[in-house]
Amino acid sequence: MTATTGVGRGAGPVRQASLREHNLGLVLRQVANALAPISRAAVAAATGLTRATVSSLVEELIAGRLLLETEPSPRSGAGRPAVGLALAPDGVAGLGLEVNVDYLAACVVDLTGAVRHSAVLPGDRRGRPPGETLRALADLAADAVATSTAPIAGATLAVPGLVRPDGLVRTAPNLGWRGVDVRADLCIRGLDLAPAGLAVDNEANLAALGELHAGAASSFLYVSGEVGIGAGIVLDGRLFRGARGFSGEIGHVAVRPDGPPCRCGAHGCLEQYAGQEAILRAAGLVPGRPGEAAGRLAVAAERGNPAVLAALAEAGRALGVVLAGVVNVIDVPTVVLGGLYVPLATWLSPAVRSEVDTRVLTADWESVEVVPARLGVRAAAVGAAGSVVRAVRDDPARWLARG
């Protein structure tokens, strides 16, 4: 009986040092989440730590250039005025990279969450050798690094495909990649990736983090519609990766078990109803370059083209059926439509909402919101960069202890 492998839960032992690491993060996040500069005393009150401890922790964070003291805020009541604390804009930054079907992107996000640099290099990357694409990306990345006044804590790369937890790209069908070890193949001038290393993740996952970063709710399902359809699941401010790291593959959830065949080998997958090519086909438009399909569809829909409107309604319905299923299973309060679906949200959302409302069991008392994404194409790159600074925020001690 009872044979869970390993110890489960909070794994390791806890020494006093871990205690400080935890509290360091607690204080840093408290400052980060405050809307305005906040005093040590307020941090102490909010965290439950004593002011003495908070002072000591803050001192360390300031020395590590993660926090700054600001001018006292507008006075209120008697007493010594509080010294404000805020995140240091030049303390650390994260580098976010993205390889996609028709562009490469790089951006730098600082600790405060501000996007400090952002560059996109258009170009069709389908079927090109990974090495060539990665070299071009490395150049773009090196430029981004060169512009940063803050030290770069690490980099994260977004790829439209299945990525193993260790960073190996299992397959990125639309790029034509299979088994690419990005971590070994990418080296960026002016940036030593050894310490934090390069993280690689699915484009939908990182775009979801980008939305979180941009102020979306703390729990939501992000749907990334492109040639394929992926999803990133954010629960309670954290990315949910499933048991083995390949969560969110909603593009191959069945809409109709005996529907049209899909390139995955199954029948009636969502991609065959709401993928970019399926929508174009249903609308009677010719497939073109991957980047501009959404625009063409939006223009035609705006003009009232009936075939396009019908195609979008049908796609929305299929999307709604699948999303309702997902919500029934993981019970998220919000669905964010991203990628291709952002410019088409006006026409897709009604059908999606209607399906979700009738099919989600708990919809009667726990409403489910369907909203378009706030970020555009850059969502994944911003999310990737944001995930780096988020990692520093979650465990500042590791960053402070760097060689």
Partner DNA sequence: GGCGATTTGTTAAGCGGTTGAATTATTTGC
Partner DNA sequence: GCAAATAATTCAACCGCTTAACAAATCGCC
CB of 25 to DNA, least distance (A): 11
Closer CB to a copy of itself, residue 170 or residue 353?
A: 170
For the window 79-118, what string marks contact with DNA as x by the rule CB under 7 A?
xxxxx-----------------------------------
Q: Pick out residues in 290-319 that bind a copy of itself (CB under 8 A).
A: 317-318
Candidates 64-72, 75-83, 123-131, 356-364: pick the segment binding a copy of itself (CB under 8 A).
356-364
* Region 208-247 residues binding a copy of itself, contact defined as CB under 8 A: 212-215, 218-219, 231, 233, 235-238, 240-247
Among residues 132, 189, 394, 401, the one that binds a copy of itself under rule CB under 8 A: 394
* Residue of 46, 53, 183, 374 that binds DNA (CB under 7 A): 53
Among DNA, a copy of itself, none, the one that 266 touches (CB under a kind-dependent 5 to 8 A) is a copy of itself
Nearer to a copy of itself, 277 or 331 (CB): 331
Q: Which of 1, 78, 194, 286 binds a copy of itself (CB under 8 A)?
A: 1
Q: Which long-range contacts (CB under 8 A, 24 or more apart) does 354-357 make?
A: 354/317, 354/320, 355/316, 355/317, 355/319, 355/320, 355/321, 355/323, 355/324, 356/320, 356/323, 356/324, 356/327
Contacting DNA within 366-395 (CB under 7 A) = none
Check residue 267 and give left, alpha or beta (phi > 0: left; psi -120 to 50: alpha): beta
Residue 81 interacts with, from a copy of itself, DNA, none (CB under 5-8 Å by kind) = DNA
At closest approach, how far in Å is the CB of 187 from a copy of itself?
28
Contacting DNA (CB under 7 A), which of 29, 34, 46, 51?
Answer: 51
State which of residues 32, 49, 106, 229 lies at the interface with DNA (CB under 7 A).
Answer: 49
At 391, list the tokens.
């990692």
Q: 92 to 151, contacts with a copy of itself by CB under 8 A?
A: 112-114
- The option from DNA, a copy of itself, none interacting with 128 (CB < 5 to 8 A, set by class) reads none
Q: 77 or 265, CB closer to DNA?
A: 77
Nearer to a copy of itself, 16 or 76 (CB): 16
Q: Decide: is 29 part of the binding site for DNA (CB under 7 A).
A: no
State which of positions 55-74 bind DNA (CB under 7 A): 55-59, 72
Positions that interact with DNA (CB under 7 A): 13-17, 19-20, 23, 39-42, 48-53, 55-59, 72, 75, 77-83
